Amino acid sequence: MSSITLNFEDKQLVQLRAKAKEMQLATVEELLLKIANDLLESREAKFEAAMQYVLKKNKELYKRLA
C-alpha cells in the first residue's frame, strides 16, 4: 500500500475532524479514504451504467453487423 501526505490549513483540518466525527469515523484519514473510495466507485458505476445503456440501445445493430 502506498501513502501520500496532504497539507491542510488549520481551519480545514478542524472541519474535516468534525465531519469525520459526524460520520462516526475515528480519524480524518478514514474520512478521506471513504471519500476517495466513494468517488472511484461512483465513476465505475456511472461508466458501467453508460456501457450497459449503449449495448442495450445498439443490440440490434450489433447483431446485424456480426
Rounded to whole angstroms, how far apart are CA atoms 18 and 23?
Answer: 9
Q: How far apart, in Å, are the Cα atoms of 24 and each of 12, 49, 51?
A: 18, 31, 35
| Average pLDDT of adjacent 10-residue blocks, the chain of 66 residues | 93 97 96 91 84 87 82
Please provide the average confidence, as pLDDT, over all residues in the chain: 90
Please tell me the predicted confidence (pLDDT) of residue 62: 80
Please tell me the predicted confidence (pLDDT) of residue 32: 96
> Residue-wise over 20-58: b if at least 16 C-beta within 10 A, else e?
beeeebeebeebeeeeeeeeeeeeeeeeeeeeeeeeeee
Please tell me the predicted confidence (pLDDT) of residue 57: 87
Please tell me the predicted confidence (pLDDT) of residue 33: 95
Please tell me the predicted confidence (pLDDT) of residue 11: 97
